[in-house]
């Protein structure tokens, strides 16, 4: 490990960055170094700008991927190297707003039925039933399932905050069957080694296999299950504040996107045209 990488990691740990964020930022900086074949310490504003243009133009990267790199470079140059002038004139782009993909109840039944293996079925059903991020469901411990209070403890979610979400009775039945078969000790869903949790990458691969097996035309990711959880709660009449807390959103504006997703909410809204007395207007003409 180079001294620069070590110092950057230490700076992020001092600020209590999530381990996932540390890994992402380090990898972004490593790609920058490989692209130019030299240490980022030797690069200047034109080099960083050229690399970001490379991501957009040649790599055709998504704006979220671009922003990950920009934020990683901001931390490296502004904090670790103390050279805020390197990125002074680079701004975060305005990301296009797209509605998230949501599965219907029928599609979810097909999806869960197509999952091969009890462990992966319990894993992905937990992600939907509790609206968890991929990193959150992967990091669940056996002790986080509280069947007495019927809640699941989510440790250190986004923003380094713990929260509780509901424990579905149907999910509890599935988890008990899974526990009797697998007998996990510490991690609810262990990975290749019993003393380590399953990796988010392995969870994503299990989700992809289930989507292909179910023959769904939609792009289904673990985050799609989370979007579906929130949308279905909204359609069932759950208020946005409760959904915000369950999802672990810091801002209600993040949760408000689901008001634009729910087809049930759209169908329940009366068009102003239907409030007009068109028959009266026709009688007046006659």
* Range of 58-72, 170-184, 243-257 with top mean pLDDT: 170-184
Return phi, psi of residue 24, to 5°. -60, -50
> Tokens for 104?
């219907």
pLDDT at position 254, please? 75
Average pLDDT over residues 52-70: 86
Residue 250 confidence class, pLDDT cut points 50, 70, 90: confident
pLDDT at position 280, please? 64
> Tokens for 193?
């080694």
Residue 58 confidence class, pLDDT cut points 50, 70, 90: confident
* Range of 76-90, 159-173, 201-215, 244-258 with top mean pLDDT: 201-215
pLDDT at position 95, please? 65
pTM for the predicted model, two decimal places: 0.70
Strands (DSSP E) along 6-159, which ranges?
A: 145-146, 151-157
In angstroms, the CA 130 to CA 164 distance is 9
In angstroms, the CA 234 to CA 243 distance is 8
| Residue 210 CB neighbours (<10 A) | 22
Strands 151-157 and 161-166: antiparallel
pLDDT greater than 70 at residue 60:
yes
pLDDT at position 73, please? 95
Residue 76: CA count within 13 A, CB half-sphere: 30
Nearest to 231 by CA among 248, 243, 242, 220: 243
Residue 192 confidence class, pLDDT cut points 50, 70, 90: confident
| Residue 95 CB neighbours (<10 A) | 11
In angstroms, the CA 275 to CA 22 distance is 55
Q: Which of 144-148, 174-178, 182-186, 194-198 has the lowest mean pLDDT?
A: 194-198
Name the average pLDDT for the chain: 87
- Residues 218 and 60: beta-carbon distance below 8 Å: no
Strands (DSSP E) along the chain, which ranges?
A: 145-146, 151-157, 161-166
What domains sit in the chain, N to C, each tagged with a CATH number? 3-87 (1.10.150.130), 105-267 (1.10.443.10)
Residues recorded for the chain: 286
> Tokens for 91?
């701004």
Residue 75 confidence class, pLDDT cut points 50, 70, 90: very high
Dump pLDDT digits (tens) for 24-38: 999 999 999 999 999
């Amino acid at each position: 490990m180079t001294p620069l990488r070590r110092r950057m990691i230490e700076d992020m740990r001092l600020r209590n960055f999530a381990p996932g964020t540390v890994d992402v930022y380090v990898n972004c900086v490593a790609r920058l170094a490989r692209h130019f074949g030299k240490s980022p310490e030797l690069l200047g504003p034109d080099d960083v700008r050229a690399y970001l243009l490379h991501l957009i133009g040649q790599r055709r990267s998504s704006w979220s991927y671009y922003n990950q790199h920009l934020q990683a470079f901001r931390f490296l140059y502004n904090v670790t190297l103390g050279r805020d002038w390197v990125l002074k004139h680079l701004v975060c782009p305005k990301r296009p707003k797209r509605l998230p993909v949501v599965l219907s109840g029928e599609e979810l039944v097909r999806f869960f039925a197509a999952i091969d293996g009890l462990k992966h079925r319990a894993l992905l059903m937990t992600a939907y039933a509790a609206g968890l991020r991929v990193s959150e469901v992967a990091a669940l411990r056996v002790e986080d399932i509280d069947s007495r209070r019927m809640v699941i403890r989510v440790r250190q979610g986004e923003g380094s905050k713990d929260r509780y979400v509901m424990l579905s009775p149907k999910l509890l039945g599935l988890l008990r069957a899974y526990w009797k078969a697998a007998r996990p000790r510490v991690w609810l869903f262990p990975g290749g080694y019993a003393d380590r949790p399953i990796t988010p990458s392995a969870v994503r691969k299990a989700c992809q296999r289930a989507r292909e097996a179910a023959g769904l035309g939609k792009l289904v990711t673990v985050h799609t299950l989370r979007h579906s959880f929130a949308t279905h709660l909204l359609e069932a009449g759950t208020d946005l504040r409760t959904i915000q807390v369950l999802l672990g959103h810091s801002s209600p504006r993040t949760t408000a996107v689901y008001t634009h997703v729910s087809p049930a909410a759209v169908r329940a809204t009366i068009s102003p045209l239907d409030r007009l007395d068109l028959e009266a207007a026709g009688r007046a003409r006659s």
